[in-house]
Each structure stands twice: as structure tokens, then as C-alpha cells.
Structure 1
Amino acid sequence: MTTTEQNSYLQDAINAIRTEQQALEILINELDERFITACQLLENCQGRVVVTGMGKSGHIGRKMAATFASTGTPSFFMHPAEAGHGDLGMLVKGDVLIAISNSGQSDEIRRLLPVVEKLNIPMISISRDKRGFLPQSATVALTLGASDEACPLGLAPTSSTTATLALGDALAVALVHSKNFTSDDFALSHPAGALGKRLLTKVSDVMHSTDLPIIAQTANVEQALFSMTSGRLGMTVIVNGDKQVVGVFTDGDLRRALAKNITLSTTIDSVMTENPKTIAQDVRASDALTIMNEKKVNQLLVLDDKKQLVGIISLHDLLQAGVK
């Protein structure tokens, strides 16, 4: 392949992306009070948000419905052709319909409108402009604006589908804010895979909570060594008379202490590390990992609200649990 051919590929790609960027700029200028009304319809929806569209619009609609569903707005995609053969029964009173057609003239969606009107279901249309029957029949007609397709033939839906996708994301994001949807809410619909582990796994799920290596503040180095060996965590935790954590003694502390010619009878509070890094048990495990990376430590003490030790969590525990 010649250099000229390679440059042609790159230039075609750049031109396509720039054309789609221009489509998004045009879309921004289309946003007005209609978008606000559409958001209000979706927020006040007592049923589900049903998205429909044919062809490439349908592919975008599936993604749009999935985004709504994962961000707190119950939603699903209804294929308009299948809807005409029974699937229209998915649509019930209380729903809101989002109908996507770049031309605004989809025959498959046209056949559904009498039932939509009979059920008195609000419809939000998404099309290039307001000239088609679909936007003229809609409760709210959202438009993408007149942009060129990135396809050099001007035929394949490219810029128009990009703009539609962006508009769907904009609706979903606006609803996330208006519904005060939180990351905890998001976690409930994403229990599987790495994302689910990151969002749902708590410190209490992976921490060591039994046979914890603990010694009193009055103990000596010899007792600390026995505690470290039995605990097998490379450390022991020092507590005061109220069982509150006052320090920690690790393998590193031991090496530093030996360099100072300490003896086994040296009291542990003279060689321990004070103010060790701690965390609460109800915090996400992923946050524990972040703290470890920021503080450059491999372990955190897990304390309750009385500053008493309830567990120890290590970097190894997090990695073994698949928390990233």
C-alpha cells in the first residue's frame, strides 16, 4: 500500500468525524423548550419509556432504551414491524413512546399511531425536521437539524444516527440529574462483571474480620512479634485501654526498629506507627483501593464509629476479589 493510499484512509476518517462533529453542533442549536417538555414527560412517566425505530434508527433506539433503563428510567425497545403483529401489546396506558425516524415518515411507525392515540400515550418524536407525519403527530417533536451525512454518498445514516444517539444520551443525563439518581442506584442495575464488583463490593465483604492480630499499648516487641506471626498479615494492631486503635506495627516498623538496636522488651508504643491509615466497613472496596494507591500502602485498618478495630483489608484481598 502506498503512502498516498494510507493518507487517503486517514483523510476520509478525519472528514467523516468532522462532518459528524458539525452535526452535533447543529443539534445543540436545535435544543429549546421542546427538550425541556420532553424531559418533563419522561420524568413524570408512570409506566415505561418505550422506544421504537426502524433500521439504523432502531439500533440507536435499542441503545437509548438500555441507557434509560440503566440510569433509573424503566425502558425497553419495541420493534415497530413486530409491534404491528402483536408486540404492540407491550404498550400500555401510563407509558411514554419515543419514536425515531430521520425522515419522520416511517411506514412501520405510521401503522402504530392509531393505537398510540387510542391509548392516549404521549409520543416524543426524533427526526431531522418537523415536516414528516411523525413529528406532526407527536406530543413533542425533537429535531436534529439539517446536517450532512458523513457517508460520501450522502445515503448511509451516519451523522444523523450520531446526533440521535447524542440526543438520547442528553435526555438520559438530564433525567439522572432531575431524579437525583446516584451511583448506589446505578450499582443495583449493574451487579455483574467488573463494574458490578467495583460498585457493589464493600470493604466488609472482603476484609479479614476474625482472629485479628491485636495487642495492648503496654505490650513489648516480643509480644508484637508473636501477634504478627499468628495473624499472618505482616502486622499487628495496637489498642489502648478502651480498645481504640492507637497504632500499628508492621514488618517495615520491625526492620526500622532493629536498626535502632531495640530489644525484645522495648515497649511497642515507642516503635509503633501512630495514626495508621483507616477506612469504614461500609465504604466501597474500590474506594479502599483508591486510598491504598494514593497513600502508597498495602493495608488499611477497618474501624467502627468508636475507633475500634473490626477488620483489616489488604491490596491482595482486593485483587483476589476482582476489585479494580
Structure 2
Amino acid sequence: MTKSIIILIAIFFLNFNNPKEKLEDFNGSYVTAESGLLCREVPNGKIIYKFPYGTEVEIIDRTDIELTITDDGKEITGDWVKVKAKNSNKTGYVFDGFLKSAWELDPQKIAELTPSHFIKTSNPKGLLLNGIYDIYDINLNITRQININKISEVIILSVTKFDRPETRKPIGNYWKEHCEWGKFLKIIYKNEEIIVFGRNILQVNSNEHKTYKTKKINFVFAENFLTNSRTSIHELSGCFSVNNILIKSDKNYSLIYDSESTKEDILTFFDNDYGSEHISSLIIKKDTIYSNVGQNFQEGIGEYKLKIFNNNNNWKFIKYDKKRDYQQD
């Protein structure tokens, strides 16, 4: 049971869907020594590097030299292997008793012990939502803040390989707080390269062009970088996965708000391993945009109708005619 929980935590932590990493990005071997893994010129030879916890390495040669060590009262047996650190030219020999698969990494130890490592994103189109953002240095220390009062286009250069918490405060309830973990991003905003946490930053996936009251508009489908909106085992964790939808008109972006809610609830669609929502073609009649949204769940299917309209320069939506059909065993 304990082993199963550890594996589920690892799956929850890695997140393989766009804009996340792909499965093959985690096929290497990873350092699991909390104090770092010593790398030597030859087996038992001169120390030349220390690889931090979570460092990914490629095993390029194996030896028949076996070694048994005692770590925290537990015997660990392995061999000396020659490795190359991914994304660097560092090579040498290490003890493979502290090399494991990505599934066996501890997310909390990653957050505490692993230096930030950014990987290039395949989709650079991004949006920065309104709000106050902390700006970080390469070591993820806050250096200053910026205030965004208009949804702005940005170029996403790269994202951290692993999800991390936004702050360095001690982690309390892991399963609850991990929903608020996410990627740190290197982005270009107003011709400046900065590092920000992924909260309220969207990666644009697609656009649909429409004409509304003689005006050209774009429906923009995007997703953000919080674990809360991306995890694949939300039913175990309480997290969920959503895609955002915005409207672009006259170079301005707008979120779409629930017209029947006193809260600022925005229009989103869930999409994960446990269910999904799929919006059909958008049809414009007079001053209203109509669509049907289909739903797939593990226990059945559902659907509802959607109306989108502009009210005093604010985009609003209404969901109606909701239906749910549960499958019979």
C-alpha cells in the first residue's frame, strides 16, 4: 500500500500533459542522495563534482565494481557506473545505489534540495493575467514585484522541469498545498526577460475567429501552469484540471465571467484522465454566442448549453439545460 501511494504521489508530481513535460523527458536516472551524490574521476578516485538531489544523469558505461554502503542504518548495494549529467558536459563515476527513476523522487525534497532547472517550451505563446507578480532570480529568490493591470501577451522561453511551491515556507498538508504548486517560467514581457511563478500565466493552445456585431473577435483557448489546473489524479488529491477561454477584441483580452454568480467565476473547461468537456462550434445569433458543451466522466456522460454575450463591455456567460446520464453496470 505504501509503495502504491509513493508511485501515485510521483505521478501527481510529474504531470505529463501540455504545457507539462512529456513522458520521455523523465526516462533518465535521477540522484536520490539527499546530501548530493559524489562524482569521481575513476571508481573510488578523486572527487570532481557533487550532483544535487534530483539531478538527471545518463548512464554511459557500467563497471563490475560492486560497493555496499550504510546510509541511515540501511545497507545499500550497487555498482560504480560512468554517467553524464543531462544538459551539461559533466561526466564521471558514481555509485548507482543512489540513482533511481523519476517515479521514486520525493517532490518535497525536490522543492527543498534541487536547484532550478529550466527546459525550453515547445509553445512560446503566453498571456499574463492581471495581478501583482513577484520577480525571481535564477535561484528563485524574490527580487522585486510588477503590477499587471491589463492582460498582456508574453513569450514563454522555458519552464522549470519540476513543479515547486510558490514560497519556501514549510509544507503543511502536502496533498492540499500541492494543488497550488506549479512551474516557474522564464518569459519576455515588454522586451525584458524575467522569471515568474506560473500562477495566472496562460499558455495559448488555439484560437477561433468569429465576427460579433460587425467586429472581429478571437476565442482563445489556454491553460495555466498551476498543478491545481493540471494534475491527472485530482480525485485523489482534490485538485482539478481546467482549460481557460478568453475573448480577444481590438487587441484586448477579456476573461468571460458567470453572469449569475456574485463571485468572479470565470469560464473554464475541465480536461483530464477522469473526464473532459468539449465545446462544439460557436454560433452567433444577433448579440449572443451559443454553443453546446459535451462532458465525459468515468461514470457517464453529460452536456449543457452555453450562452456568451457582452454586457457593458464585460463578457458574460450562462450555462443552462444541464443533463447527466450515468452508466449502468
Shorter-chain TM band: under 0.3
Please identify which structure carries the higher strand content: 2
- Greater relative contact order (CA < 8 Å, ≥ 6 in sequence): 1
Return the index of the structure with the highest Cα Rg: 1
Given the two structures, how large is their TM-score scaled by the length of structure 2? Answer: 0.23
